[in-house]
Structure 1
Amino acid sequence: MLLWSACVPAFATEAPMQVYTRATHTLDREWKAIVDPYENGYYDYRYQPFDQRAEPPRGAYFMDAKPASPTELIEYDFDQAMSLQVPGDWNTQDPKLYYYEGTVWYRKRFDAPARRPSDRVFLEFGAANYRADVYLNGRKLGVHEGGFTPFRFEVGDRLQDRDNSLVVKVDNKRRADGVPTLNTDWWNYGGITRSVELAVVPAVFVRDYRIALESLEDREVAASVQLDGARGGEKVTLSLPELGIRETAAATAEGRADFRFRVPDAQLWSPTDPRLYRLEIATTDDTLADRVGLRTIATRGKQLLLNGEPLFLRGISVHEEYSADGGGRVRNAEEAKQLLLWARQLDANFVRLAHYPHNEHMVRLADELGLLVWSEIPVYWTIDWNDEGTYRNAQAQLEAMIGRDINRASVVVWSLANETPVSEPRNRFLSRLAARARALDGSRLLSAAMEKHYREDDPDVAVVEDPLAELVDLVSFNQYIGWYDGSLDKIDRVRWQIPYDKPVFVSEFGADAGQGLHADPGAIWTEEYQADLYRRTLAMLDRIDGYVGTSPWILADFRSPRRVLPGVQDDYNRKGVLSEKGVPKQAALVLRDYYRRKADEAR
């Protein structure tokens, strides 16, 4: 969610913008940083923000000032400060910051990229957690809230040819009105966690596009292109050269050009054949190239259909964390690919990217590798359902997630929430989100990870019944029978009551196990216990009517401050089928063998 001070020009925008495939000027690698737990660089001693003044004092950190004389008092110096790498979290770059929650100021000096007088320049952030106040050459560009979505500012008229100062105040304090809120089960990594770039584009440029296979029977594709800076009448050409497609349309006064054409010879994208085609969009002054897959995803009764054929989701849940080398948040495409390759080694064809939008590398690599994707916003557990600002924040994150990834063939599910307790305010909140998601994209499935309860007259009958289930396409729920809910024997007794004519997906199950910890199968925390729970649970799930897949919790052990048991957890949630280093536990082999059987049955 982008916010601006009333005294700051609105140079920022939330509208989607395709940047990933453009040539950009990177601002990654070393940044200078000042840790500021009392926010002295932002507030005066009366707790009034410096950036609300018409003339901010040079002592405000965003001014990036040096003493003009031996008598001027400036109590900071970025040049002498510590360094942090961008992208990256601060928690794993300095032991002093491991548990830190608060403000860190980042500063990057750079020369402006080469450009023509008519060109426009956008400053693009992949993500910063959680609130980012952004300043260029001492002037505020704006504010973004939300730790996992991209944001940008148009900065061409504020750039100096040499020695620009970009200062970002990043604050990861948890907030009751935030999305997510105060209580989560993952590490609150702070910092500029994804890349920062400058994109130089012409005055009228291709900002965004949409493309989707709209009709499986007719192989009809619908596409649209959005120009920025257009006045209407501009010629837009869309090409798929490998399919012999070259279509031209004129942009409207709003800059939109629409296309509709057939692709009778196209190979449809699927996990077994992740075919991607080169897409080229050209105007008089600009060209945008990308690679896209064409496929359909739908439901029919209790069936899930990919390209019209029944689909079983052999999934695994994944956090955006790579700690095999001591790191935290995924920093680059290589780390993202390693997580997806670990999933592939389980014979998975699906990943649930929990509990927030992951970096763009993940979804684009999933396109390449043939992994279906569930993408989620961090409406997690119990947030402030009655606060309109919280809702707007959640909707902004939903819009940013869909806007960035709507053209990725791998993404088949948009998820609205995880384990949210039923109440009227919650139902209204999620109903609004569902309506917004469908307005933005009608070509994918909608879901959310719901919860179960038991029948009062029969404690062995688990019930999934939630008003949210009426709004989604895929009835998904989390369950932890045998770990948080009863003993292993209970798994064998439970029967399921799910009163919807829709596919059923089990979005989480699991148990903690220390990799290398062995004992009798009845002893918790052991690999044997976790493996036995997997065997029993998978057999139980196969008995559910309409069951179309699962994404057990989770691929690899991940950090969580909730998990403090010494010698076992040590700040890690140990439900991974792999250790944080990628070493398989016994449950990984149980899951892999199950998925191989499922794949054989589908052939």
Structure 2
Amino acid sequence: MQTKISLEGEWKLQLDKTKQGLAMPFADVISLPGTTSHALKGPKNGDILVDALTDEYLFEGQAWYSKDFEIPVALTGKTCMLHLERTRLTMVWLDGLEIGNRDSLNTPHVYDLGQLRSGNHTLTIRVDNTDYPTKGGHLTSKDTQTNWNGITGRIELQFYSECYLSGIRLDPDVSARSVRITATLEGADTGVIKVSAVTFNSKTAQTRAVQEYNISRGEFSISYGLGPDALLWSDSEPHLYKISIDLSGTGEEASDQHELIFGLREFKTGGDKFTINGQKTFLRGKHDGLIFPLTGYAPTDLEEWLRILGISKSYGINHYRFHTCCPPEAAFAAADMLGFYMEPELPFWGTITEETDEGHNQAEQDYLISEGYAILRAFGNHPSFVMMSLGNELWGSRTKIDTFLKDYKAFDDRHLYTQGSNNHQFVPEVLEHEDFFCGVRFSKDRLFRGSYAMCDAPLGHVQTDVPGTMKDYDEQFVPPAVGNGEDTAAATGDTIQIQYGTEAKTVQIGDASGEWIPRIPVVSHEIGQYATYPNYAEISKYTGSLKAKNYEIFRGRLEDNGLGHLAAKYFECSGQLAVACYKEELEAAFRTRRLAGFQLLDLQDFSGQGTALVGVLDAFMDSKGLVSAEEWRTFCSDAVLLARFPKYNYVSGEHFEAHVELSWYRNGAPDILVLKWALNTEEGTLAAGSSEAGVPAGSNYIDICDLSITLPEVVQMTQAVLSLWIPGTDIRKSYDVWIYPENSSGVLDGVHIFQELSPEALALLDQGQNVLLMPKPELLQNAVEGFYCTDFWCYPMFRSISESMNKPVPVGTMGLLIDNRHPVFRDFPCEEYSTYPWWNIIQNSKSIILDGFDRSWSPIVQTIDNFERNHKLGFLLECSVGAGNLLICALDADKVSGTPEGRQFLSSLTHYMKSADFKPQYRAEGSQLQQLIQ
């Protein structure tokens, strides 16, 4: 509440790409706050990025900004501070006199300009976005907010009386219902402060009486009581106070005033869980890399962050992990108001070394540690700031990393600390001074995430296991045979090759790490990463600094392959598969009773690192239309119903058995829960009922009941929906299951079946016969392996990494596009996209590459390829050959015929081939097909 002069508006501008120094006169002007790119300054960027969005006016170098301003007589004699909310490396001159430089990437740059005379002055600021003290991370990356040059947020002069307060820190004390206020009295030997508090965002209004405290020069600390009925802050009830602090020196009126937002909360750990004010909580987190395509930089206004976080809240998210970056002040303020647990991270993605190690960079490490302290000072008062990470996927000295943790905790114990996100990936270990652990595995095979890249294999259960809802990770936390000497890491001094960013890297393992069991909360790192095909309709939304030239390139590739007309279907069908994968991933996390939370990658698309379109929201935080927020919350919320059953496909008369449980992290659990359930088909209800369960005090996992339903006899493949709900609440869940008639083993009887297009097969076709060509998948050369799950992150990035590490490349496909109205599916009704009846079929198949073949030939079932290859891939095709008809399906019938869904699919093929509907419109020559199918 100091007197301020805003410096927003027009500034003189001089771009200095080669760092020759300021050349007068200034050649241009720019409006600040803002960036050179957003203002379209400098030459247009001729480069077009394929692996990220393109910054059309990217400028890297030194930019000089200058502005004249006037100091009124009333402000002479007051100390003047220049406040630059967010920028790059800066150096400041006042009236031609050098003031100093600042290098924080995460916090405001503040300069003491002294006491200014009245009249006109000239301020010159040089901003450099090159040669950073550290590589940074997503603060300066082209993959996210770009390496912009400029000044964003508040640009202002702040004036202080001779007597003022600095470094105000608020420490909550929940047990005493008070706040400890620590600050430094500047410019006077003694003073008096008056403290008061009032709620401002709660239904319950509270005004606390003014209290006076006598203070002395230097640092002081006082306790201000909020009363026994003080409201507590949490993600579900984010009650806030405005704390007013008025200072008056001896014999003076109020000379300094501050109003700070405060939340009374206690965020701690209790065993394997986090607690908020003594109650266990579960982190439902998302990764955030500060992606803002319209500006290329993070917003600094409260309204925009309220919008962004409000969208995340509507999808059940209560936690943000900022990947190698820290958001501006407004993000924390919005998180305070909406109730989010925020985790900024130091801007580092690399190796922490000892002073004696080769390549040790002490200056960089000193800078990183100073950035951490700056973040704690700048944003530490926010109740939403509850956690901090030292970086992303760090390697190197565990001893050194632990020293940093120890020092931070001693400096500011209001937050919980972790050594980093997924440190020492294959050989992780909990450090002495870390409060929680964030990773993806406890050792190479003890996985607690559902999906992985091929270069980080083994793959996850969502990618490899027969679909069901039984999976949790509790046995990974405490293996059944701990201490058997197996599954230990390599010895000290060994190296390991890892995926590092968009490349591969060989690193020292460091200290040996054997079998271990976590004793602190564990958060699963960057879960999900299920890719969708691009939605090219989004291109028109990129009207700001960044352009989706990568999307245009991908669209052009698709059109060049004659598949442009399928783009919208590719997007929709791959998206539906991705949503189903996310549902299973998230439910596995909620089923895991030892897990403390997860961090999605991501709820929104990630524009860089190959272009990873892994969100159900686009990069603008707009819905892609794949799943509603309401439906998403049925498997991502503070109360999630879960049914455990081993499979989705059943035979007539089989027993469907499921255990129903509830993950509960809401306030005020009832003593008795009432569950309603029903198993329905389009024809009606197969079974229904209700069950009551007592809720043990303080329980977060409630076992409700077991269901046992004898499935009816059906004469055709029937889809049923298991619905679960708790009346009077928003808590509900649904699962699709499929019931099949009991088919005999001879489902392909009466059909001419060949594994290759032999002379005999061609002769039958010439005679007008119907032929089923089922090449053995393992023998096919011109084909892509069947893989049900959609691609991880994005194919081009991980193809490149796998190749550089000499490891298998990912399959890279993105599910199915099915002509589900085709008569071949009369006995196998299905959606246009992949669903669980297809899992065994696709996993035992290949799809034939049809590139260069006649573009008019459209597969009945097409496998969606990624945007780099854009193969035309046919799994199920038909054509007429000679006088006959040919159906092609590269499937191992022997392997799938042992499953009800496999038998049903083969039976449907048989019935179709024997029907009058089997009249393919496309005509092919046998010799062409022999060249194609090898």
Query: How would you bin the TM-score normalised by the shorter chain?
Result: 0.7 to 0.9
1:454-496, Cα deviation, whole Å (9 max, x unpaired) = 9xxxxxxxx773254x321121125682445447424778953
SS, match of residue 135 in structure 1: strand
Aligned partner (choices 80, 91, 96) of residue 138 of structure 1:
96
1:507-543, Cα deviation, whole Å (9 max, x unpaired) = 4122333453788999999323432331232233235
Q: Could you tell me which runs of 5 or more consecutive residues in structure 1 were left unpaired when the two chains were aligned.
A: 1-20, 42-60, 62-74, 455-462, 564-568
1:201-250, Cα deviation, whole Å (9 max, x unpaired) = 1111122322232243x43432223222233x322222225453433333
Pairing 1:346-385 to 2, within 5 Å after superposition: 346-382=315-351
Equivalent-residue separation in structure 1 for 2:4 and 2:289 (angstroms): 28
Equivalent-residue separation in structure 1 for 2:428 and 2:522 (angstroms): 12
Aligned partner (choices 508, 511, 516) of residue 526 of structure 2:
508
Instruction: Say if 1:444 and 1:255 are closer, same or farther in 2 by CA, change over 3 A.
Output: closer
SS, match of residue 343 in structure 1: helix
SS, match of residue 333 in structure 2: helix
Aligned partner (choices 264, 279, 285) of residue 228 of structure 2:
264
Aligned partner (choices 465, 478, 486) of residue 428 of structure 2:
465
Greater CA deviation, 509-518 or 280-289? 509-518
Give the counterpart letter for 1:399 in structure 2.
Answer: Y
Give the counterpart letter for 1:319 in structure 2.
Answer: G
Query: What residue number does 1:65 align with?
Result: none
**1:392 to partner: Cα distance:** 1.9
Query: What residue number does 1:165 align with?
Result: 122
Instruction: Say if 1:368 and 1:163 are closer, same or farther in 2 by CA, change over 3 A.
Output: same
**1:138 to partner: Cα distance:** 1.1
SS, match of residue 347 in structure 1: coil
Tell me if the contact between 1:176 and 1:383 (Cα under 8 Å) persists in the aligned partners. Answer: no
**1:139 to partner: Cα distance:** 1.3
Greater CA deviation, 93-102 or 503-512? 93-102
Tell me if the contact between 1:134 and 1:141 (Cα under 8 Å) persists in the aligned partners. Answer: yes
Equivalent-residue separation in structure 2 for 1:417 and 1:588 (angstroms): 33
Pairing 1:2-151 to 2, within 5 Å after superposition: 22-41=2-21, 61=22, 75-78=23-26, 80-81=27-28, 83-94=29-40, 95-96=44-45, 98-112=57-71, 115-129=74-88, 131-151=89-109
Pairing 1:190-229 to 2, within 5 Å after superposition: 190-216=149-175, 218-229=176-187
Relative contact order higher in (CA < 8 Å, ≥ 6 apart): 1
Query: What residue number does 1:281 align with?
Result: 245
Aligned partner (choices 364, 369, 375) of residue 390 of structure 1:
364
**1:114 to partner: Cα distance:** 5.4
Equivalent-residue separation in structure 2 for 1:262 and 1:92 (angstroms): 46
Equivalent-residue separation in structure 2 for 1:575 and 1:91 (angstroms): 27
**1:150 to partner: Cα distance:** 1.2
**1:180 to partner: Cα distance:** 4.6
**1:442 to partner: Cα distance:** 1.0
Query: What residue number does 1:11 align with?
Result: none
Give the counterpart letter for 1:526 in structure 2.
Answer: S
1:114-159, Cα deviation, whole Å (9 max, x unpaired) = 5444321110111212x111111111111111322112111133x4
Tell me if the contact between 2:282 and 2:638 (Cα under 8 Å) persists in the aligned partners. Answer: no
1:80-101, Cα deviation, whole Å (9 max, x unpaired) = 41x3332223233324463332
Tell me if the contact between 2:586 and 2:636 (Cα under 8 Å) persists in the aligned partners. Answer: no
Tell me if the contact between 1:88 and 1:331 (Cα under 8 Å) persists in the aligned partners. Answer: no
Q: Could you tell me which runs of 5 or more consecutive residues in structure 2 were left unpaired when the two chains were aligned.
A: 46-55, 199-205, 249-254, 355-359, 441-448, 478-515, 537-565, 642-663, 667-934
1:319 lines up with 2:289 in the alignment: yes
Instruction: Say if 1:520 and 1:174 are closer, same or farther in 2 by CA, change over 3 A.
Output: same
Query: What residue number does 2:394 align with?
Result: 420
Query: What residue number does 1:459 align with?
Result: none
Instruction: Say if 1:274 and 1:499 are closer, same or farther in 2 by CA, change over 3 A.
Output: same
SS, match of residue 401 in structure 2: helix
Tell me if the contact between 2:16 and 2:62 (Cα under 8 Å) persists in the aligned partners. Answer: yes
Aligned partner (choices 597, 601, 604) of residue 549 of structure 1:
597
More strand by share: 2
Question: Between the two proteins, what is the percent identity of the paired residues?
Answer: 22
Instruction: Say if 1:513 and 1:522 are closer, same or farther in 2 by CA, change over 3 A.
Output: closer
Equivalent-residue separation in structure 2 for 1:31 and 1:142 (angstroms): 20
Greater CA deviation, 390-399 or 246-255? 246-255
SS, match of residue 371 in structure 2: helix
SS, match of residue 635 in structure 2: helix
Equivalent-residue separation in structure 1 for 2:616 and 2:572 (angstroms): 15
Tell me if the contact between 1:380 and 1:420 (Cα under 8 Å) persists in the aligned partners. Answer: yes
Give the counterpart letter for 1:188 in structure 2.
Answer: N
SS, match of residue 123 in structure 1: strand
Equivalent-residue separation in structure 2 for 1:446 and 1:167 (angstroms): 39
1:173-196, Cα deviation, whole Å (9 max, x unpaired) = 255745459988532222213321
Greater CA deviation, 434-443 or 95-104? 95-104
Larger Rg: 2
Tell me if the contact between 2:75 and 2:159 (Cα under 8 Å) persists in the aligned partners. Answer: no
Equivalent-residue separation in structure 2 for 1:184 and 1:490 (angstroms): 33
**1:354 to partner: Cα distance:** 3.2
Equivalent-residue separation in structure 2 for 1:451 and 1:521 (angstroms): 36
Greater CA deviation, 25-34 or 196-205? 25-34
1:234 lines up with 2:197 in the alignment: no
Equivalent-residue separation in structure 1 for 2:350 and 2:77 (angstroms): 48
Aligned partner (choices 580, 596, 616) of residue 577 of structure 1:
616
Aligned partner (choices 590, 598, 602) of residue 639 of structure 2:
598
1:529-580, Cα deviation, whole Å (9 max, x unpaired) = 43233123223323545212222123433543x43xxxxx3xxx43333112
Instruction: Say if 1:227 and 1:515 are closer, same or farther in 2 by CA, change over 3 A.
Output: farther
Tell me if the contact between 2:195 and 2:245 (Cα under 8 Å) persists in the aligned partners. Answer: yes
Aligned partner (choices 96, 112, 126) of residue 154 of structure 1:
112
SS, match of residue 39 in structure 2: coil
Equivalent-residue separation in structure 1 for 2:166 and 2:72 (angstroms): 20
SS, match of residue 267 in structure 1: coil
Tell me if the contact between 1:236 and 1:282 (Cα under 8 Å) persists in the aligned partners. Answer: yes
Pairing 1:512-527 to 2, within 5 Å after superposition: 512-514=531-533, 516=535, 526-527=574-575
Aligned partner (choices 587, 593, 612) of residue 539 of structure 1:
587
Instruction: Say if 1:200 and 1:520 are closer, same or farther in 2 by CA, change over 3 A.
Output: closer
TM-score, normalization: structure 1? 0.78
Give the counterpart letter for 1:170 in structure 2.
Answer: V
1:481 lines up with 2:451 in the alignment: yes
**1:39 to partner: Cα distance:** 0.7
Query: What residue number does 1:528 align with?
Result: 576
Give the counterpart letter for 2:32 in structure 1.
Answer: V
Equivalent-residue separation in structure 1 for 2:215 and 2:465 (angstroms): 59
Aligned partner (choices 290, 314, 318) of residue 345 of structure 1:
314
Equivalent-residue separation in structure 1 for 2:2 and 2:615 (angstroms): 36
Query: What residue number does 1:72 align with?
Result: none
SS, match of residue 124 in structure 1: strand
**1:331 to partner: Cα distance:** 4.6
SS, match of residue 501 in structure 1: coil
TM-score, normalization: structure 2? 0.52
Runs in 1 of length 4+ with deviation above 4 angstroms?
174-185, 382-385, 482-485, 491-495, 517-525, 587-591
